[in-house]
Structure 1
């Protein structure tokens, strides 16, 4: 029997509609790839919520029980071929005690691997985990606006179909209700609670973006930190030797822990490193390192992307997140993978107060003080219009308000 669901549009759901939208406004956002939400009602009761942002190739489906509790969530992401694949699914038994209800989560990978986590007693303890190959994630074409029937039907059947050996013996979570569904527009807010807010209650999984990278290396540029100003200046730090072309950016005190090189490589050679310094305009003696740039050639970067290591996937990042290298000793460095282990103890002799950087072992390592100190820092890869590597920039994130 087909279930008819009434669609109401907004910027998000949080025990009510956040910033309601008309159907035309929602459809306009859909075509522009901008975030919006669809609240689906069955007989006037909350049934499902869709959070959609096609710029990120993202659609999250949340199923609710009769008490409004989330019993299932399914995150669909865009594959390289253009269609959607199921990245993550989670199901929870409907219960008056949600924290202790049985739950089952699956993380899917396009390569055919899935990781299962099953907790039959919820927070009371006990968990079974599995990782196996040979499980292709469900895939669907990206639906046009209002054509969410297949998306809803497929999400509703996922856990029933997924509880196959070796998972069926411990899969204690009932599946969410099946369709088929028919979606029809609803006039107005359908009597639901409405709230206005300057912030959406959800964000699309948009990782940290490389903004203002060029400005970090433009002498005289001024940036604001709190209520103070800092001025950028650049200084050459010498040439870095890359005998293998496999670059490592890391805290030099952690090089003996097996810091991995980036997947993007450079032709073996020696390349100039430039340090970006930021000085408080009202305190010329107070300078911090804003960034370090390794130039592979003299062309300008047309695009920037996050440098990744083996096993890292942008699809694993949420809003504002990034993969970076950790710093515990207040310093960072560039070094070739071939030289990493040999230079793992050099940091013990560093004094990076004045100047804030140093070249080590005739250019086998270049180290600098890390921004405000300890933390995690991304490295950006610059490419020219033809897609060739131009530079690597270790961003010390002195100005996170620009993110």
Structure 2
């Protein structure tokens, strides 16, 4: 029997169209916000990292937020990160970004408008049959109505994929402020404006990605309901219903 997504979680036409196109080189994913005649086109897919998730428990959240940082610096309890209710197979999974270009003019100069449009974690190479919002641990689907959006808040326009079991160690560089600098010297720069933190003791990783404002996490499910990919759009294409 084919998987049927809950109507409260299913991607609406706009979001589904974007998610189906954004990892297809040459596809159009819309037009420039100030020029409806100029398409935004997918120019390429780039592998960022092989992300180790030994626990099978995935956090998709900002590596810090302002309120949490205030508590962390004062030794107070911090909020738990947003861990997905959906489990994934333990192991290493390919992480990719989709690059797009939408040329525009700014102050008399031509700009190529190249940016990262979305980031995905590839769980399998099976075709995606439908898209739905990912519930977090503790989220109540019964409280949702069609059109409601759930996700995480991306302070400083940064989100991340991380192993939940090693979260405390992996997020530490983003919560350490010493001598006027974040502890980001402990991170590894990757393609697509991403950064990686490793915990070799647990063979686990955290990798950041760019994300404007809030972040809906989309599960791409196969016909049988298995998760094939997990996607976060970098921009504002978030319509759920």
* 1:250 correspondence with 2:53: no
Cα displacement string for residues 9-66 of structure 1 (whole angstroms, at most 9, x for unaligned residues): xxxxxxxxxxxxxxxxxxxxxxxxxxxxxxxxxxxxxxxxxxxxxx96xxxxxxxxxx
For 2:27 and 2:136, the matched residues in 1 are separated by: 32
Q: Would the alpha carbon gap of residues 327 and 206 (structure 1) be closer, same or farther in structure 2, given more than 3 Å must change?
A: closer
TM-score, reference length from structure 2: 0.70
- Find the residue that maps to 2:96 and give its secondary structure: strand
2:194 maps to 357
Alpha carbons of 1:346 and 1:277: their partners in 2 closer, same or farther (altered >3 Å)? farther
Which residue matches 1:224? 31
Q: Which residue of 2 aligns with 1:241?
A: 52
Mark the runs of 5 or more structure 2 residues left unpaired by the alignment: 1-5, 69-77, 105-109, 175-181
Q: Note if contact 1:242-1:268 (Cα within 8 Å) is conserved in structure 2.
A: yes
What secondary structure sits across from 2:171 in the alignment?
coil
Change (3 A) 1:220 1:284: farther
CA distance in 1, matches of 2:9, 2:206: 33
Note the C-alpha offset of 1:246. 0.6
Post-superposition Cα deviations, 1:355-398, rounded to whole Å, max 9, x if no partner, equal: 4223332870111121xx3x211111122122222111122344
- Distance change (3 Å), C-alpha of 1:295 and 1:356: same
Distance 1:388 1:263, change over 3 A: same
C-alpha distance in 1, partners of 2:220/2:192?
27
Given the alignment of the two structures, is residue 214 of structure 1 paired with residue 41 of structure 2, yes or no?
Answer: no
Q: Structure 1: how far apart are the matches of 2:150 and 2:240?
A: 18
TM-score (norm 1): 0.44
Between Structure 1 and Structure 2, how many residues are aligned? 198
Q: CA RMSD in A?
A: 3.0
Q: Show the counterpart of 1:267.
A: 89
Would the alpha carbon gap of residues 333 and 385 (structure 1) be closer, same or farther in structure 2, given more than 3 Å must change?
Answer: same
> What's the CA shift for 1:402?
9.7
